[in-house]
Structure 1
Amino acid sequence: MAITTGSHILVFPYPAQGHMLALLDLTHELATRGLVITILVTPKNVLSLTTLLSAHPKTITTLVLPLPSHPAIPSGVENTKDLPGDGFKAMMVALGDLYNPVLDWFHNNPNPPVAIVSDMFLGWTYHLASQLDIRHYTFSVTGAFSLSVIFSLWRYQPKRRDQENENEMILLPKIPNSPEYPWWKLSIIYRSYVQGDPASEFLKDGLCNNMASWGIIVNSFTELEQVYVDHLKEEVGHDRVFAVGPILPAGNKTTERGGSSLSNNVLSWLDTCEENTVVYICFGSQAVLTNELMEVIAMGLEKSHVRFIWAVKEPTVGHVAKKYSKIPDGFEDRVAGRGLVLRGWAPQVAILGHASVGVFLTHCGWNSIMEGVEAEVIMLTWPMTADQHMNATVLHELQLGIKFSAGMEIIPDPDELAKLFNKSVSQETQVERKRAKEFSTAAKEAIGENGSSRKELDRLVANLSY
C-alpha cells in the first residue's frame, strides 16, 4: 500500500550508468510510496528518465542544469561511460560547480524540497543541505562492506610504509573480520589523494561528508550483510542506515533497462539451452578489456566447450580502438551455436533471470552482484578496480563466488580459465549452488511483503517525510 506523504525530495544521481540505474529504481519505489520528487540531471541524461517519468507523471519532475565545463571532460560528454579512465574524478569535480545554480533553484521554488538524496560521489551536496537547513541522505551504490572500507580509509587514513610497493598489505582493523588488501586494490581516489591539491581535497571532503549525512541508504539487505550494516551504524553513530536492496528494475523493465532491441533474440536462444548450463560474461558499463585479455577469455571459452553469452563493451573516449575489445578473428564462427557475443548493451537482468543461465563471470560491480544474488547464479569473480575487490570479498566469504582473476594487469592462463568454466557448470560447485539458492530466496523475501528491505524502505520514507 502506498504511503501518502506529499513531502518533496530532491534526488541527484551521479551520471554513470551503474550509479544512475539503481538510484532511479529507488526513486520509483519512493514515488510509489507517495513522495513528490525532483530529479536533477544534465541535458543529455534526461533520456534515462523516460520510463520513470511516464510511470509517475504527477509526482516526479526534472531539474535540468547544464554540465559545468572541465578540462578533462570532452565537449558534449555527460556520462562517465563515454569518458577516459580518470573521468569519474573529473565528473565529480565538475558537478560541484552546480552548487550555486541548485541553491538559486531552491530559493526560487514555491515548494522547495525538505531533503536531498544524492549519490555518494556528490558529497558536496551535504554542504548545500546544511546551508538550506534540510536533511541530507547519501545513496551508496556499493554494499555495506565496501562502504565500510571507504569510510575506514578516509577516517583513519592508513599509509604504506614502502611507497614503491604496490603489493604492501593494508590492514583495516576497525572493520569486522579485520580485512586487509594489497595497496593496489584500494580505492583509486584514496590512493591518488594529494594533500593540498584542490581537486583531491574536494573529493576527500565529499566522501567524508557522506559519513556526516543525516541518513545513508545502501543497496543491500541485512540477511547478506548484517554485520557490516551494524558496523556502519556504529561508525556514523546512529541507526539511520537503511538497507533497502536488492534494488531491481520494476515490472517489464528487466528487458528494457538501458535500452535494447536484442532481448527477444537472446532470450529465444537461451530457451534452447538446458538449465544452469550457460555462462554469462560481462564486465559492466565502464571496463574495456585489452585485446590480450580478450584473447585469453576467448581461448578459455573455446577450450572449455561451455555454452555462453559474452557482453563486450566497445572502446570509448581515451581508448586506442585497435588495442581494446577486439574479438579474436574467427572466434564467433568457431563457437557458433553454443555461444553468443553481444557488442554494447545486454539485457543483463533478463539474461541472469533465465533458468538456463547458472554462472556469471562478473567484474563485481555491486549492481551486478545484487542482480546475480537475486537470480540464483554462481559468480566467478574478476574484480577490476574501485569497490570491486571489496565486493568480491563478500562473495567469497559467503561462498557465493569463485575466484577467477583480478585486475587488468594479471593475464590468466587460458587452460586454467577453461577448467574454471567447466567446473562452474559441473557438480563440483554444489556448495556454491546451494548457497546461491539460499541467498536468492533471502533476497526475494527481503523485498517481498513484510521483508527486511521492505520494512527498511518504509522506515526510510517515514524518515524522509517528517
Structure 2
Amino acid sequence: MEQKSKVSILVVPFPAQGHLNQLLHFSLLLSSRGFPVHYATSPTHVLQAKCRLQGWNPSSLHAIHFHSLPIPPFPTPPPDYNSTIKFPSHLQPAFEAFLHIRAPLSSLLQTLSSASTRLVIVHDSLSSFAGKEAESLPNTESYNFRCLSALFGLTFPQISESTAKLLRAHDLVLPAKDGRVTEEFSDFMIRNYYDNNERESGMIMNTCKKLEGEFLELRRQELDYIGKKLFAIGPINPVVIRGGGHRHECLDWLDKQPDGSVLYISFGSTTTPSEDQVEQLAIGIVQSRQRFIWVLRSADRGNIFAEEGKEAGYKLPPGFDKEVEGRGMVIRDWAPQLDILAHTSTGLFMSHCGWNSCMESLSMGVPFAAWPMHSD
C-alpha cells in the first residue's frame, strides 16, 4: 500500500500572467522546503507559466507536480491598440473558459485528498471555487492568495471609512475607478472573487509589513478575516537570481554599460499602449540621449501560443534605429525582467505599476517612474 504524504499543497492560479507567475514562485518556495506541491490550471496556462519562469534554475520545475486540467476551446483575439479602455478585455473569453476546470479540479482534489493526511489548497482570489470544491473533503484547508496589494483589497468594491482616513493621514489620493476595468470583468470579479467559504483558513499576500503594515492591519480587522490567519510573505519573487538556462542577449549588452545608467521600459503582460503613445515615447527616447532597454510588445492574448491573427507589432518613427544605435535595445518579445532589474547597470524602471513589477523593482532596489495604464 502506497504511503500517504503527511501534507500536500495544491495551488490553483488564475490564468493571467501576473497571477500564474506569483503562484509559481510561491509553489517553488514551498517545494524547496520539501513539501509536495501540485500546480493546476488549463493546459495552455501551465505551459505559459513554465516557459516564462524567471529567477530560478529551470531544473527547479521538476519538483512541482503540474496538472493540465481540460477546458473548452476559447477565442484568442488580439488586443485593440487604440481602445479607450486599456483593460485587456480581449482576455475575457479565456477567463470564462477557465471556469470549466471546476469539474476536473474536483476530481483532482479527491485524488490528492485520499493520498494525503492533510491537503492544503491555495487558490487565487479569482479561483475561489477551488475552496468551495474542497469543503466536502474532511482533511483539507484552503487559503485565499491575493496577487494584488493589501491596499487594493481595501478599496474594492468600495473604500471603507477607516481606509479613507488612513489614506488622508498619508496625503494619498486614489485615482478614479472609471475605466479601470470593463463592466464585463467587474461582473466576473463579483461572481468569483467574493465566492468566500466559511471554512477558509485565511489569506496569503505578496506584500510585507515594511511596505504595507498599516493597510495589513486594516485587513486583519475585516469581518471576513477576524480570527483567521493572514500571512504577508512578499516578495514572492527571488531576490537572489539563480543562474541556469538560456541567457538573453540584452544581459550581454547590459554587461557593457556603466552602473545605474540604463532606463528599463516595460508595461507588463496585459497592457497595450496606443500607437500615438509609442510614437511619443520613441521621440522622447531619441531626444533624451538616454541608455535604455524598451520592451515593446502588445498585451498577451488568451493563448499566447496561438499563431492565427498575430499582429505585426508597433512601427517606430523613421530613423529611430539609427538614432539610438549603440545606446539602447528594443525587445519585441518576452524579456527577462527579474534579470534586468537585478543587473547593476539598470538605474530606473518606467513601469505600468502592476503589483508584480512593483514588488520586483522594490526587491531589486530599482526606483521606478510610474505610468499606470488601467487597473494598476
TM range (shorter): 0.7 to 0.9
Residue 144 of structure 1 is matched in structure 2 by: 150
User: Per the alignment, do residues 252 and 276 of structure 1 end up closer, same or farther by CA in structure 2, a change over 3 Å counting?
Assistant: closer
What SS is found at the alignment partner of 1:102?
helix
Question: d(CA) in 2 for partners of 1:211 and 1:6?
Answer: 24
Kindly indicate whether residue 285 of structure 2 is the aligned counterpart of residue 330 of structure 1.
Answer: no
Q: After superposition, give the CA deviation of every residue in 1:146-190 in whole Å (9 maximum; x if it has no partner).
A: 22223xx1xxx5xxxxxxxxxxxxx6533132554323254x16x
2:83 corresponds in structure 1 to: none
Unaligned ranges ≥5, structure 1: 76-83, 158-170, 195-199, 389-466
What aligned pairs does 1:422-441 form with structure 2 within 5 A after superposition?
none
- Residue 132 (1) aligns with residue 137 (2): yes
The question of whether the paired residues in 1 share the 8 Å contact of 2:351 and 2:369 is answered with yes
**Aligned residue among 180, 183, 189 for 2:177:** 183
SS of match in other structure, 2:122: strand
Structure 2 CA distance for partners of 1:254 and 1:8, relative to 1, 3 Å: same
How far has the Cα of 1:123 moved from its partner? 1.8
Match of 2:226 in 1: 237
How far residue 376 of structure 1 moved from its aligned partner, in angstroms, is: 1.4
Could you tell me which amino acid in structure 2 is paired with residue 216 of structure 1? M
Task: Give the 5 Å matches for 1:44-443.
Answer: 44-47=44-47, 48-49=49-50, 54-55=59-60, 57=62, 60-70=64-74, 73-74=75-76, 85-109=88-112, 110-111=114-115, 114-133=119-138, 134-150=140-156, 153=157, 157=158, 172-175=160-163, 176-177=166-167, 179-184=173-178, 186=180, 188=181, 191-192=183-184, 200=187, 203-209=189-195, 213-235=200-222, 236-249=225-238, 252-253=241-242, 263=248, 265-314=249-298, 321=311, 325-386=314-375, 388=376
Distance 1:185 1:149, change over 3 A: farther
Tell me, yes or no, if the aligned pair for 1:120 and 1:140 is still in contact at 8 Å.
Answer: yes
CA contact (8 A) 1:255 1:350 kept: no
CA distance in 2, matches of 1:97, 1:223: 39
**3-state secondary structure, aligned to 1:337:** coil
Q: TM-score, normalised by structure 2?
A: 0.80
Partners of 1:108 and 1:183 lie apart in 2 by 42
Aligned equivalents of 1:123 and 1:325: distance in 2? Answer: 37
Shift of 1:100: 1.9
5 Å matches for 1:444-459? none
Q: Displacement of 1:66 after TM fit? A: 1.3
Residues in 2 aligned to 1:309 and 1:375: alpha-carbon distance in whole angstroms: 17
What displacement does 1:131 show?
Answer: 3.1
CA distance in 1, matches of 2:135, 2:101: 16
Structure 1 residue 130: Cα displacement: 2.1
Amino acid at match of 2:23: L
TM-score (norm 1): 0.66
What is the DSSP-based 3-state SS (H/G/I as helix, E as strand, rest coil) of the residue aligned with 1:373? helix
Q: 1:20 to 1:317 in 2, by over 3 A?
A: closer
Equivalent residues of 1:31, 1:56 under 8 A apart: no
Matched positions, count: 340
Runs of 4+ that moved beyond 6 A: 50-53
Please state whether the residue corresponding to 1:181 is helix, strand or coil. coil
SS at match of 2:127: coil
Please report how far the alpha carbon of residue 231 of structure 1 lies from its aligned counterpart in structure 2 after TM superposition. Answer: 1.1
CA distance in 2, matches of 1:321, 1:104: 39
* Residue-by-residue CA offset, 1:438-464 (whole Å, 9 max, x unaligned): xxxxxxxxxxxxxxxxxxxxxxxxxxx
* Cα displacement string for residues 54-93 of structure 1 (whole angstroms, at most 9, x for unaligned residues): 4364x532222112345xx349xxxxxxxx9324443333
Percent sequence identity is: 29
Offset at residue 111 of structure 1 (A) = 0.9
Q: Give the structure with the higher percent helix.
A: 1
Distance of aligned partners of 1:255 and 1:328 in 2 relative to their CA distance in 1, 3 Å threshold: farther
Check 1:145–1:205 CA distance in 2 against 1; reply closer, same or farther (3 A cut): same
State the secondary structure of the residue aligned to 1:384.
Answer: coil
1: CA distance between counterparts of 2:102 and 2:299?
32
Superimposed CA distance per residue, residues 274-327 of structure 1 (whole angstroms, 9 cap, x where no aligned partner): 2222111000112122211110000111111111110111476599947x6322
Assess if the C-alpha contact under 8 Å between 1:172 and 1:180 holds in 2.
no
Partner of 2:38: 38
Closer, same or farther in 2 for the Cα pair 1:346/1:41, shift >3 Å?
same
Which letter maps to 1:205? R
Offset of 1:126 from its aligned partner? 2.5
- Give the aligned residue type for 1:219: N
Larger RCO (alpha carbons 8 Å, 6+ apart): 2
What amino acid sits opposite 1:141 in the alignment? C
Check the 8 A contact 2:268/2:299 in 1, yes or no: no
| Secondary structure, aligned partner of 1:284 | coil
